[in-house]
Structure 1
Amino acid sequence: MKANVGTVDRVLRLVVGLAVIAFGYMGGLTSPWNMVAIGAGSVFVLTALIKFCPLYPLLGINTCGKEG
């Protein structure tokens, strides 16, 4: 698994992911949409941490700037 998420992309994913998770928790987990927000935010945070997005190879995207 080669990294395909660059530094700027990682920072944006981390910030947006944490914001979406916080937004999901603000609702008190009373709505299914809160769980969707927490799940989506978690995916953003996870892809930022592991430097790999599984959709990028399918779309031919690499924000790393170099192979690897």
Structure 2
Amino acid sequence: MPTSQPESSGPSEDRATPDDLLHTRTGTEVSPEDLVLASGKDLSPRTLEWARRKLEAEGPVALEKLLP
């Protein structure tokens, strides 16, 4: 005989995640190191320069664009 679980025991697929839980910002400044690590790249002078340029162009939202 199959055992059924109540619907309230698991997350509902038709419920949306609240907007405040979707953002990655913590209220602190985003450093070039943060951006490099979030992109999955190794820290190196070249990737740090890439991150500095990206932060100058896009600001802290650059980190939001990399993370889900």
TM-score where L is the length of structure 1:
0.29
**Structure exhibiting the larger radius of gyration computed from Cα positions:** 2
Determine which structure has the larger helix proportion and give its number.
Answer: 1
Higher RCO (C-alpha 8 Å, min separation 6): 1
